[in-house]
Amino acid sequence: MKVLILFVILILALPYTQPAQAESEQATFESLYRKKFSISWAWVVVPAVVVGGVAFVAITGGAGIPAVIATVGTSIGGAMGLSGIAATNAGLAMLGGGAIAAGGFGIAGGVAVIAAVFTFSTDLVLEYSIGRAMDSYNYNRLVAASKEMPTLMLPVNVNGSKVYADAIVQLGDIEIGEDTPISHPINVAVIHGVIANLTRQLTLERRGELLDVSWWKERPVIFTAGEHLRHETLLSILYFIVNDYQTAKTYAFRAISRAETEQLRSSVPTFIFAATSLYDEDSGAVNAALGHFREALVMEPDNHFVPILFSILLDRMFLRIEEGTLTDEDIDTLRQIAETEELSQHIKTNYAILLGRYLVRLKFEQQKILAMTGSRYEMLRSAPETVTKVTEALAKYQYLVYLSDNLVANANALKLSEKRDKGLMELFELQKQYAEESSRLKLVVHDYKDELGVSDS
C-alpha cells in the first residue's frame, strides 16, 4: 500500500506533457488545415477566396465583365474541388492582379487589372507613370504592396496542445467576408491578440511557470518537440498573414530547424521561409526562395493548397521583378517546378495560374510601351530614361511571349478536355492574341524612336 501511495505521489509530482497528435504531423498543410482527417479539404479552401484586400466576388456579378474571366476562374476553382460561385471566386483569387498596381499602374485593386488583362485590347486602358514604378529595395513599400495580395489561410485543426487549441478557437471568431477580408483592421487586431497571448504562454512554459490545474495538484506544463514545432509554425503563419514577413521568417526558420532535428516534416514553415525570403534585401536569399518553394511542395505533394501557394508566391515575385532583383525568367523556373513529377496532379491548375500571370506581365509591358510612347507630356516622352524603359519593356514583352509560348506548347501536350479544360483553352487564345501583338508593339517602338531621332539598334 505504501508503495502504491509513493508511486501516485511521484506521478503527480512529474511535469505534465500534454497529449498531442502524431509527432510526424505537426507542421504540414493537412495537419493544420483539415478540421478532421475525414473531412474534405474543400471545407477550408472556400474561405480562402477573399484572403487579400480585393473582394473577387465583385467580378462575377459586375456588368460588362468579360465572360472569359468567369470561365477561367471557374475552371481553376473546379480543379481545386470546388463548384459554383465558390469555384469561380477561388479561381479568380488565384489569378492575382493586385500586385501589379504597385508596379506603376494608377489603378488600385485586382478587379480592374484582371478585367484589363483578360479583355485583350491594343488601346491604352491603364494609366502608367515612371514615377510610381518600384525600382529599388524598400521593405516597407514591399509590405504595403503585399496587403492587396492573396495570403495564407487561418488554420482550423485544433489538434495539439491546449495552448495551441485555444489559439485556433480564438481565430475562429474572425469572420472573413467581401467587406471584411482577413486584412481588415478588426481581423488583424484579433490575430495580433492571439499572437500576444500565444507568445506569453510559451514564455511561461519556458520559465516553468505554465501550470496545468486540471488535477488536484498544480503541475508545470512541458511541451513536446512536436508541440513546439506546431506553435512556431502557427506563429509563422499568423505573422505572415499580418504582413510581418521578417518575424514570420524567424519563426519559420526555428520550426524548420526543430523539424530537421526531430526528423519531422515541415512543409508549412518551409513554404513561409520561401515566400518571406522574397522580402530580403539580400539578392542571394531572394534567389534561393524558389529552391525552398520546391522543397515545400515536394515534401507534401498531395497538399490541395499547391495552386494557392503558387499564386501567393507569384504575386510577391512580381514585386521583385519590377525592382530588378528577379527576372521574368524566374517565373519560368516556377513552370519547371510545376512540371515536377510529384506535382503532376496539379499540373493543369498550375499551368492556368502561371499562364494567367504571364498575361498579366504581358499586359503590364504592353501598357508601359503605349503609355510612354504616347504620352502627352513631351518632356517625359522624349526623356532618355523613357527611351530606355520603352526599349526594356519591348524586350521583356518579346521574352514573355517566348516563355508563354513554351508553356502553351507543354500544356497542349497534355490530354485536354474541351469541357473540363475550357478555362485553360481560353487562356491559350488570349496568349495567342498577346503573341500577335508583339509585331505591332515593335513597330510602335520603331516609329517612336525614329521620331526622336534615336537609333533602333
Q: What is the Cα gyration radius of the chain?
A: 25
Helix segments in 263-346, DSSP class H? 267-277, 283-299, 306-323, 328-338
Grid cell listed for 287: 534567389
pLDDT digits (tens, 9 = 90+) for 17-64: 444 444 568 999 999 988 754 444 433 444 443 333 333 333 333 444
Q: Which residues contact 246 (CB under 8 A, 6 or more apart)?
A: 139, 276, 279
Do residues 266 and 286 touch, judged by C-beta distance below 8 A? no
Q: How far apart are the C-alpha atoms of 95 and 83, rounded to whole Å?
A: 17
Query: Can you give the pLDDT at residue 82?
Result: 64
Grid cell listed for 173: 471568431
pLDDT digits (tens, 9 = 90+) for 124-179: 777 666 555 555 788 988 898 888 788 898 999 999 999 999 999 999 888 877 67
- Which of 20, 24, 27, 52 is closest to 252 using CA atoms? 27
Decide if pLDDT at 416 tops 50: yes
Q: How far apart are the C-alpha atoms of 191 and 245, rounded to whole Å?
A: 15
pLDDT digits (tens, 9 = 90+) for 72-91: 667 666 666 666 666 666 66
Q: How many CB atoms lie under 10 A from the CB of residue 22?
A: 10
Write phi, then psi, for 26 (nearest 5 degrees): -115, -20
Bridge-based pairing of strands 211-212 and 219-220 is antiparallel
- Which of 387, 364, 377 is closest to 445 using CA atoms? 387
Higher pLDDT among residues 180 and 41, named by residue: 180
Q: What is the pTM of this model?
A: 0.83
Q: Please give the biggest Cα pair distance in the chain.
A: 105
DSSP track, 157-220: ---S-HHHHHHHHHHTT----SSS-TTSHHHHHHHHHHHHHHHHHHHHHHHT--EE-SSSS-EE
Q: How far apart are the C-alpha atoms of 361 and 95, rounded to whole Å?
A: 12
DSSP letter (8 states) at residue 348: H
DSSP letter (8 states) at residue 46: G
